[in-house]
Chains A and B, each alone.
Chain A
């Protein structure tokens, strides 16, 4: 391995380590939140928005009909009902779906320091797409 490829390999290792560390913690926190909230839902510690006994009657319906029948909110409006057993699970799910964001943002200063503007831009764009998807603006969730 020559000097240039050795430097390239070291740089890639630094990027990978930072990304892995942030992703690892995000995933752990998300999974922990998911397991705790599901236990609270399953054992009735938190009262669900849709009673458990009614689920078999609605889970075979298309999502639009399900939402109408159960008066379940869309977009981020579930946060207003986060104390309900079933909707509290969405905290863990949202954490898992969003846990790639901190590692992506963590890469940007690393790339900028190295004047690797192309990858700083790509990381920022990927992060932006995730934020747009989460916001519900693109999806009409609000």
Chain B
């Protein structure tokens, strides 16, 4: 009898899980092919499909190490019949709710630094308002095309970027020294106490201005950009970067979300199932973190983003409507 080694069985089981997730995520894609016939479907079909999709996005987003908002806007914008204005409004709320839910725990655990987050958030909040206003003023096709390009850029960033657990910062820059941006955190994995400081703060501030514009314009949150900026550019330890990114996101997405709310671009029937589905999925994703292989999930998410990015680009260009 053919005996498979345990590792092969585990890989098969993971492959099956991932395949199932991909198939479930593809349901709305198939249904969206009949957007013209949407009136023949009962009104509850799309919110239910949205809830299910967001639940699975929530599951895969945590092990993949990206925010749910990054997956939400390209997937829902590309394969659901909702206008991109409402999708971006909901996307911001999804990213906001996730950041708010994780924020207190990260702060109490010392993984999120207020001293690092607040100056960056101040600039990013201001620019996210400008980004949101710009996004709501531009034609949907232009935003869709730009979204496709941004998503493909995120894919490239995910494939290329390296992470540094504890970057070496020889000397803190003058601005970060003046603001007292440094801290201590205890790394749970190694039980080490890490003293950290940052450098290149002016450049970091400028980068967060750009990140704010993108977060507001596309409603995709900005964890994908925050973490490399904090970790690779400014030299914050990886865990502090991830934790602080959530805190910055909670403030940036709040200011942009107000713009969408004031402009009437938040439809509860789209936003609430998305937020609830994503939060429930993220709880399961956090539990599966030890079971699923992060690298495999990450590859799957990259493939999914690549597909959604190409779809957004082609939809924006009118080549695949």
A interface, CB within 8 angstroms of B: 1, 5, 8-9, 12-13, 15-17, 19-21, 23-24, 26-27, 30-31, 34-35, 37-38, 41, 52-53, 55-57, 59-63, 66-67, 72-76, 86-87, 89-90, 93-94, 96-100, 107, 116, 118-119, 122-123, 125-126, 129-130, 132-134, 136, 138-142
Contacts and interface: CB of A to CB of B under 8 A. Distances in A.
A7 to B, nearest CB: 11
A123 B118 contact: yes
A16 B254 CA distance: 19
Contact of B107 (A16, A63, A129): A16
Contacts of B264: 63, 66-67, 72-74
B114 A125 contact: no
Nearest to A99: B100
A93 B93 contact: yes
B16 interface: no
B272 interface: yes
A139 B263 contact: yes
B110 interface: yes
> Which residue among A20, A21, A67 has the maximum number of chain B CB atoms within 10 Å of its CB?
A20
27 contacts: A1-B193, A8-B180, A13-B110, A16-B114, A19-B107, A20-B104, A23-B100, A23-B250, A31-B279, A38-B268, A41-B269, A52-B43, A63-B83, A63-B265, A66-B83, A66-B264, A75-B262, A89-B268, A97-B93, A122-B119, A129-B122, A130-B254, A139-B132, A139-B133, A139-B258, A139-B263, A141-B262
B301 interface: no
Contacts of A134: 258, 262
B52 to A, nearest CB: 16
A58 to B, nearest CB: 9
B125 to A, nearest CB: 5
B191 interface: no
Interface of B: 35, 38-39, 41, 43-44, 46, 81-83, 85-86, 93, 96-97, 100-101, 103-105, 107-108, 110, 112-115, 118-119, 121-122, 125-126, 129, 132-133, 136, 140, 178-180, 182-184, 193, 195, 250-251, 254-259, 261-272, 275-276, 279
Contact of A60 (B41, B83, B178, B255): B83
Of the candidates B115, B254, B262, the one having the most CB atoms from chain A within 10 angstroms of its own CB is: B262
B38 A130 contact: no
Contacts of B105: 20
Contacts of B275: 34
A118 to B, nearest CB: 6
Nearest to A70: B264
Nearest to B116: A12
Contacts of A12: 110, 113-115, 183
Contact of A62 (B83, B107, B257): B83
B251 A63 contact: no
A96 B96 contact: yes
Given A66-B83, A140-B262, 17 more contacts: A23-B103, A38-B272, A55-B269, A59-B82, A59-B83, A59-B269, A60-B83, A63-B85, A63-B265, A66-B264, A90-B268, A97-B93, A100-B100, A126-B125, A129-B126, A134-B262, A139-B133
A133 B129 contact: yes
A140 B133 CA distance: 9
B151 to A, nearest CB: 21
Contacts of B82: 59-60
Contact of B122 (A20, A86, A125): A125
Contacts of B129: 129, 132-133, 138-139
